[in-house]
Structure 1
Amino acid sequence: MFSNVFRGKAKVCIGAVLGLCLAVASCAPSSEGGAGSCARPDLVFGGDVLLHQIIQSEAAARPTGFAPAFEGISAALSRADLAIVNLEGPAARDVLPGGRQGRSPATIFDNRVYSGYPQFNFHPSIATVLASAGVDVVQTANNHALDRGALGVDRTLEALRAAGLSTTGTRARGEATNWAALRQVNGQTIAFLSCTFSTNGLRDGRDQVLGCYGNAPSIPNLIQSLNSQPGVDGVILLPHWGTEYSRSPNPRQRRLAQAAADAGAIAVVGAHPHVLQPLTIVTSQDGRQVPVAYSLGNLISSQWALERRTGALLYLDIGRDEAGRTRALNPRYLPTRVERFVERGVAVFPAATLPNGPRSIAHARAVLGDAMVGPDGCLAR
């Protein structure tokens, strides 16, 4: 049902009726070398994939596992050439709390090997579900990254990569990496760099999780280094930062966003607060306009307050400006909402497809504004 609704509406933005889309939706082609906002988006970013106990237990009770939780949002993710989400916890096969090897349970949720808050571990089948839902890149640097220790980091990366997903922000023990995921987008190579403000006090003894603050080299220096690599056209920073449940970015977030832009990042897309924070544009030292989404909220969770069940998908295009510099263009968002159903369980949908969706749409607009509702006007409502 939801797939047909979205794909049908997407067709309004192409072909002979493009003019109608522009008139009704105020979709305008970019004047800076990117695709028009009615074209297929290059990138889509989702918020936190936060699989609380109820979501895991529901998945364990059905043969399709986690899949129904994401079916309603799959078409919206798949509309873009590349989709990126934050996986808020390990997906480490058979790893116990403390990072010890355990026996494989007979279920994908036993509240011991696979568990919810406060120390998460999701069954690794979540990796194939995310890939099937349209996800391409997973940011794994977050405050729950070490909930199953060093082995948990290793096993999480193993599961995600086996599902064909790129990862950024963590690395396996002994792995030499620059932390970033490099992907082709609209003919250009974009480096996605994820970092986290914290690992909840758990010691990162194997240097497996990239921190947003206090690193040597710093995040701005890493951005500069990535930009200097042959073949890299642009860097997008994915910081796990901010104050939980606050609708306003704190001064530390603002400083890092500006520093990232000044260092050459073409966009900054944040996670962690579990609520929406503003979507804005900052001007870099060299005059570029850099989209910054301080927080896209929860993509899925079992947090039921309006501001926590409301999220947003952020769509961006990749193009070049008149000076030939790679740019992230046409930022626009699609409000999402989490509901719980008798048969489907907890699941996420575009807010416009749900009876209670107008509440989430209104909340998203109150935080993110009306200027960048999207992903294009044809799918705005």
Structure 2
Amino acid sequence: MNLAAQTRLLLEQAYDAYRDSPRAASWLGRHLDRFSDPLRLAVVGGPATGKSTMVSAIAGQELSGQGDGMRWFRAAPSRSQNELTLIDTPAIDEHATPQTIEGICAEADAVLYLVRHPHNADLGFLHTLQDHAIARASAVNSVVVLSRADELGGGRVDALISARQIARRYRREPELRGLCQDVVPVAGLLAAGGRTLREAEFDALVDLAAVPKAELEPQLLSADRFLASTGQPGAVLLERFGLFGVRLAITLIRRGAQTLPSLAAQLVPRSGLAELRDSIDQYFTEREEVLKARSALLGLEVVLRMEPRPATPALAAELERVVVSAHEFRELRLLAALRTGRIALPPELAAEAVRLLGGHGTGIAERLGGDGSQHAVLDAIRRWRELAERPGAGTGERRAAAVVVRSCEALAAGPL
């Protein structure tokens, strides 16, 4: 029985035990219902991190208005074809109330935490996410996003290259271990603008691209110069794309992107949005049952702690057993560690480990590279067990191999 099935069963038992408590029964019933709902992904960050812009980019639609509370949107299906509910949250700063933070933690199955620059990032919210024994044991539900990645590269056309190098270094920082699965750079304005490019904006960019380079380039040295020379039309472009996006769009138009669809098709990949959507798929939507189970286990612990009953000790013991034995959490932690370089294996072994852990899809065929035979499973178990028991292997290698062996044994036992 996998983690989701065990969690459902435990919730149903708790629901029966708390049926006479309207508040507890409602809370448990909501978590049971959430297994049938799309995964809930909260976009969280401080002021000026571009939360609403990032939601627009992921959802592929412009968001209307601003709100003080949480706003909910349905994202278009991505590679996994699983639906996704996006939550645009209030800014997390010194004025954020404990109720706001608790509300986000209670509603979200997973979190994108937006920061402008890694060197002055406030990671307090991520620490709050793990401020619970169950959460620390299952710290697999957050990704840090460098949401204004173009600024890290000085707004140059190749700014995302610099931002990716910074992200690679940052994701290995000791302070991030146990706090997030990955760090992904995205030029948020460019991503949102590219996905929702309007005809009038495209025409304005085409007009700018027609201006001789010697005349236009001095205007593009700073936002102030650009505004002084273009006025209100330029202000609209800056608000929608940023100076980095305007520069890049003009360059692409000059190189042949002469239609709106062709320009949009080139802007979005250069924003880093594809990498972010891949991370969302790999860590969240493809593991939505695991993350929903995690939310439910946290919710159940709250009920057991707040309203003790005669059945509470037995339910608490079963809850602890489910969390401790949840191999799915170990899989996700190791998958992130391999992808971010926090654990190093030889390239061929690392690639095979990612596949066997479900990094290219969680089905048997995807995990085994197309060969779902029992012989292939047993062969994988043998090879990885040898590595786990090899005297000369490092501690990290042996631990990683032991997790892969357990994944293979689950494949041998039946569907995950």
Provide the TM-score with structure 1 as the length reference. 0.25
- More helix by percentage: 2
Question: Which structure is larger by alpha-carbon Rg, 1 or 2?
Answer: 2
Please identify which structure carries the higher strand content.
1
